[in-house]
A and B are shown apart, each in its own frame.
Chain A
Amino acid sequence: MAHEAQNLAIFRGRLKFKSNVHKIWGVFILLSIITIVEVGLGIVKPEFLVHGKFLALKYLNWIFLILTIVKAYYITWDFMHMRDEVSGLRRAVVWTSVFLIIYLLFIILVEGDYIFNIYKEGFIKFNF
């Protein structure tokens, strides 16, 4: 395993690093920036992002989720060296998880919303 070629570029090759150690620190800085942006948005909660909704989720929450997936991508690709694995292994891991998780979230969250509406419009009231 000792000296396999490592892909030292991120952002589709737009940002290249001289060595693996440089790349690690580069990715760390990127992840830190994303975390700071997330926490900043979470504390400030800008008005225009809190009001609008897309698919039952506030814009702000969509931003949080997308930034989280970006972070997850760089942790998996650069810290766990998924970038250097063969495509077969990469697909076996990533496609399986992504498909099953999206499917699970879809059915479970739709069901949760349905039960909310039953509670809201049905005869049972929890207002005491």
Chain B
Amino acid sequence: MEATVAKTGTDEKTWGGGNRPLKASYGKMMMWFFIVSDALTFSGFLASYGFSRFKFIDSWPIADEVFTHIPFIHGNFPMYYVAFMTFILIFSSVTMVLAVDAGHHMKKNKVIIYLFLTIIGGLIFVGSQAWEWNTFIKGSYGAVETKGGKILQFLHTNDEGVNERVAIGDFAVEVPTVRTDHVDNEGIWYMSEPGSTSFSLEEVTKGFLADESLLIRTQYLNDRGERIVLSREESVAKLTNDGKMVVEGANLKHNEYGTPLFADFFFFITGFHGFHVFSGVMFNLIVFFNVVIGTYEKRGHYEMVEKVGLYWHFVDLVWVFVFTVFYLV
């Protein structure tokens, strides 16, 4: 590192150059300052999430009703999968710091093994996040959006008198219709409409009116933080007067779980974090190959592993906050 420092002949003086008051190399220090600026970017995002949440504090979606799936198994498992993702990322941080430690002792083979494990952990995390997005976009029960843009979800009173969620497909009655989607090769100027939902509002309303055990749950929360459930009369009135369209899953404009803002922030913040993880995996790969071909062995130190390690831990650090803000609080 010192090779690039020009000798001025005043090296013994405080301001003569070559001083390292922070006792960190240039690269490491710049990585720290990048991390500070990136941390501020992420806090900007999370703060704006908090802003929107406080703005709609009485109608924000409840996270453990949204993220209830784990791959390959049906049922209601709030947060288990995202807890698993958190462990994967913390564990890949551990293998990363072990790689850094092995680098300090110039143990090339150990660095290779630990960096490889770190990369695998990162890939599992990104894959899990893709799965999580896919599940969120597809949705689970379906809902009806009102003219005011609020979400109405459906409940079914079972034999024990307990209200449980019911999917729109379970009660909607099929109504014969000749309505087809407008596609871009018909009509002028290549306009198409978004694909229609599997059931129309008419079908959902008809099915709802036919079954007396169905109720509507609004997106507003009561004092205990639970969704307000309407009585049968209120439900019928609400659905027939205010219902506008059927929503299945979530995208940037409509969200069956509640306010679309929740979906917007979810896609943006976890997407931005996922992109960081992806970049981190790429940096780790480059450094991994450099370790394998012996670049750092020749250089005499493994500081590059330390620098990408800093970045990788930062990605883990951000996830700890994203996890809390999106899934726990």
Chain A residues near B (Cβ < 8 Å): 1-3, 20-21, 24-25, 28, 31-32, 35, 38-39, 42-43, 50-51, 56, 58, 61, 64-65, 67-68, 71-72, 75-76, 78-81, 85-86, 88-89, 92-93, 96-97, 100-101, 104-105, 108-109, 111-113, 115-116, 119-120, 126-128
Contacts of A75 in B (CB 8 A): 93, 313, 316-317, 320
Having A39-B80, A56-B54, A79-B96, one finds 10 other A-B pairs with CB under 8 Å, namely A1-B301, A58-B225, A64-B329, A71-B320, A75-B313, A80-B309, A92-B22, A101-B43, A112-B53, A126-B150
Interface of B is mostly: helix
- B320 pairs with A86, CB closer than 8 A: no
Q: Pick from B51, B86, B147: contact of A35, CB below 8 A.
A: B86
Do A39 and B306 form a contact, CB below 8 Å, given A108-B50, A126-B150, A128-B242? no
On whether the beta carbons of B36 and A112 are closer than 8 Å, the reply is no
In the complex, which range does the number of interface residues on chain B fall in?
35 or more
- B328 contacts A38, C-beta separation under 8 Å: yes
Decide if B242 touches A42 in the complex (CB within 8 Å). no
Determine the chain A residues whose CB is within 8 A of the CB of B58 once the complex forms.
116, 120
Check A113 against B40 for contact (C-beta < 8 Å). Answer: no
Number of A-B contacts defined by CB within 8 Å:
156
Q: Is the CB of B313 within 8 A of A20?
A: no
> Which 5 A-B pairs have CB atoms at the shortest separation, nearest pair first?
A112-B54, A112-B51, A128-B148, A68-B324, A89-B22
CA distance A108 to B147 in the complex (A): 29
Inter-chain contacts of A76 with B (CB < 8 A): 313, 317
B79: which A residues are within 8 A, CB to CB?
A: 39, 42-43
The reply to whether the CB of B272 lies closer than 8 angstroms to some CB of chain A is no
With a cutoff of 8 Å between Cβ atoms, the chain A residues found around residue B86 in the complex are: 35
Q: What does DSSP make chain A's interface, helix, strand, loop or mixed?
A: helix
Per the bound structure, the CA–CA distance linking A86 and B39 in Å amounts to 21
Q: B301 contacts A43, CB within 8 Å?
A: no
| Nearest CB on A from B22, distance (A) | 4
Min C-beta distance of B95 to chain A, whole Å: 9
A-B residue pairs in contact (CB < 8 Å), sample of 7: A3-B104, A35-B86, A35-B90, A39-B328, A43-B78, A108-B47, A115-B55
- Which A residues are CB-close (under 8 A) to B23? 85-86, 89
Q: Is B36's CB under 8 angstroms from A96's CB?
A: yes
Known pairs A38-B324, A71-B320; A116 contacts B54 (CB<8 A): yes
**B203, CB-defined interface residue at 8 Å:** no
